[in-house]
Structure 1
């Protein structure tokens, strides 16, 4: 159960009550102003993240390997979008829980993230198979040039 849905409103109600008991309506006005400022800061951060993400293709990340290293369990989807600066490509159906998103880089490596309740629970990194070097490839490679003296 997500207790944040209940803790924040109850905490604000207690804060408003304490402000009214201590300072009257001036206290309520001060707490109300602080609450509005807090909401505006979060709204501004949300809009900044979405604006940056709108400039990138959906599901693109600069380096899937670096994203894999930076991810931590239980971070929000918005935090991951802020890190990638891109909206993830939805792999699950709309409204289905868990939500699955994928970010792919230029080398076709991709990170698939699973979000339960808007929080990252697990992720996997997939890299494309690398061609194995054979003895004939090494023989066909050009020889190293000798160092040049200046």
Structure 2
């Protein structure tokens, strides 16, 4: 949801609660806001706990990651999809590598995916 809309809804909840039920309504609106913030924090902690148990910058398949990416994707959704944090490889660029050596470089701006590049591993074995 848009940040401005969220703030306006929060203020509206407190104002409407205060107008309809007085100070008790304002407290009810405020408790709803705190509950929503706790849900967001809980989701963030769950994703970070999952990422903590995985090697940094590792993904099961770089090709699958590349196919599931889209512009505007939030960093939290990206980390949830990868299961690990990316390795910083430049200014605003993070890299995830799979076991085969393929990698995906993701460029982030403002906490959202701007573009990405799939880097294929060089196959050194002779072709049969």
Please report the TM-score for the alignment, with normalisation by the length of structure 2.
0.89
- Give the 4+ runs in structure 1 shifted more than 2 A: 6-11, 129-133
Deviations 1:63-104 (A, max 9, x none): 1111111111101111101111101001124xxxxx110000
Aligned CA-pair RMSD: 1.6
Q: Which protein has greater RCO, CA pairs closer than 8 Å, 6+ apart?
A: 2
C-alpha distance in 2 between matches for 1:86 and 1:70: 15
Are 1:116 and 2:114 counterparts? no
Give the equivalent residue in structure 1 for 2:60: 62
Structure 1 stretches of 5 or more lacking a match? Answer: 94-98, 138-150
Structure possessing the higher radius of gyration over alpha carbons: 1
Structure 2 stretches of 5 or more lacking a match? Answer: none
Please report the TM-score for the alignment, with normalisation by the length of structure 1.
0.77
Q: Which range is displaced more, 10-19 or 45-54?
A: 10-19
